[in-house]
Amino acid sequence: MEMSELTALLTREGLALLDEVGSVEQTADVARAVSRLRAAGHSPDLVSAVVGQARLRVKARAKFGELADRMLFTRAGLEQATRLKVAALHAGRLRRAGIGEVADLGCGIGGDSLAFAGAGLEVSAVDADEVTAAIAAYNLAPFAATVQHATAEDYLGTVRSEQTAIWLDPARRTAGHAETTRTAAADWSPSLDWCFEVARRHPTGIKLGPGLDRELIPDDVEAQWVSADGSVVELVLWSGGLARPGIRRAALVMRGGETHELTGVTDAGDEPVRELGAFLHEPDGAVIRARLVGDAARMLEAGMLDAKIAYLTGDAALTSPFVQSFRVREVLPAHVKTINAALRAADVGRLEIKKRGMDIDPAAFRRKLTLKGAAEATLILTRTSAGRVAILADRV
C-alpha cells in the first residue's frame, strides 16, 4: 500500500466503503469489486486501497480471527505479523515478570502490541516505515498505546528506565509493503548485534526466524522455539528478568487450544540408536530446533531410529504432545511395486506420506501408487541403520 492509497482509505468515506465491500475471498471477487467501485465513481487510489484491504482481511483471519475485520494491513506486514494467540503468550510472560511498560521497536502492523495492550501493559509502538506506523496507529487506536514513526535506534535513546521491557522484531526482509525477500543477518534492521546490546541493558524479547544459526545465540539468554499447529513459527530470545532461571532451551508447542512446553538447561543428549519397534515418533519441529529430541525420547522410553534423522522408535505405548506417534504395521523395501502390493492388501485408499533422510518428492511418489481402498494409513519413507525403508503405519 502506498501513502496515497492509505490517505484515501483513512477517511470517513474510505472506511465506510471498506465495511460496505465486506469479504473479498477469490481472485474473481477482486475483479468484480474493482469494476463495481470504479463504475460508482470512486478514485483509483481509494478503489485499490479498499479492495486490497478487503482481501487482506480475509487472509488475516487465520492469524487474528474476527479481529481481522476491524484492522488494516499491508501484505508484507501481515505475512510477518505474529499470530494473536502467540502474541498473547508473549504478553503473558511480560505480565508474569511484573512488567508494566513495553516498547515494541519494529512493531509492524501492531500484532504483538495488540496483545501487550490487551494484557494491560503501557505500550509504545515504533516502526521505521511511515505507512506501516500509520496502520499500526489505526489498529491500536482502541487501546492505551502510542505509536511513533521512528527507527528503533532513535527511539531507544528516549527510554530512560532500564526496567522498561523492550520487544524487538528486526526487519529480516527487504523494505516494501508487498513483495519482499529475506536478507542475511548482517543486513537486518536493527542489526542483531545492536539487539543483543539492548538485551544486555533491558529485559528484552527478540523475535527471530526459527532457522537462525544457533552459533549466533548468546550464552546468557533463553532461546524459545514456538510451533503453532505443526508449524515452527518463531524463535524468541529472552533476556534479563524475562528469561527464566535455569532454562536456556525451550520448545513451546501449541495445538488447538492447548499449550505444552519442554525445557532444558542446555541441548539434550540423544538416546542411542535402536531397531524399529512397535511405534515410530516424529518430534515436533520446535523440539528438533531446540535440540531437545533426547528428552522427548526419554519421556517415551524410545531411542533414535537413525543417528542423523529425528525419528524416534520404541515399544512402549506412550504418547506425548511433543511428538506425533504412529503404530507400525509393516516394514517394506522402499520400492513402488512392493509398496503398492502392501497397500492393495491393506485396502488403503487414503494415504499420508512422510519422509526424512530420502531424496524423494512425496507428491511425485504418490502418483506412482495405486490407492483404491476404503482404509487409510501413513507411509513413512526414511533411512535406518539397515538402509532405506518404507514404514506402513497408523497415526495414534
pLDDT tens, per residue, the chain with 396 residues? 788 889 989 999 999 999 888 788 887 788 888 888 889 888 888 999 999 999 999 999 999 999 999 999 999 999 999 999 999 999 999 999 999 999 999 999 999 999 999 999 999 999 999 999 999 999 999 998 999 999 999 999 888 777 799 999 998 766 655 566 666 776 788 999 999 999 999 999 999 999 999 999 999 999 999 999 999 999 999 999 999 999 999 999 998 889 999 999 999 999 999 999 999 999 999 999 999 999 999 999 999 999 999 999 999 999 999 999 999 999 999 999 999 999 999 999 999 999 999 999 999 999 999 999 999 999 999 998 778 999 999 999
**What's CA 46's distance to the chain center, in Å?**
32
List of residues 6+ apart from 389 with CB closer than 8 A: 276, 331, 332, 333, 334, 381, 382, 383
Domain assignment present for 337: yes
Angle between helices 130-140 and 111-118 (to 10 degrees): 30
| 293 shares its domain with 338 | yes
Domain assignment present for 95: yes
Domain assignment present for 270: no
| 171 shares its domain with 257 | yes
| 237 shares its domain with 128 | yes
| 11 shares its domain with 47 | yes
**Which domain covers residue 34, as residue numbers?**
3-73
Q: Which of 211, 240, 264 is the last residue of a domain?
A: 264
* CATH number for 199: 3.40.50.150
Vertex 191 angle, CA 188 and 196, to 5°: 135
pTM of the full predicted structure? 0.90
Structurally, the chain folds into a number of domains equal to: 3
Q: Cell numbers 519422509 correspond to what residue?
A: 355
| 87 shares its domain with 197 | yes
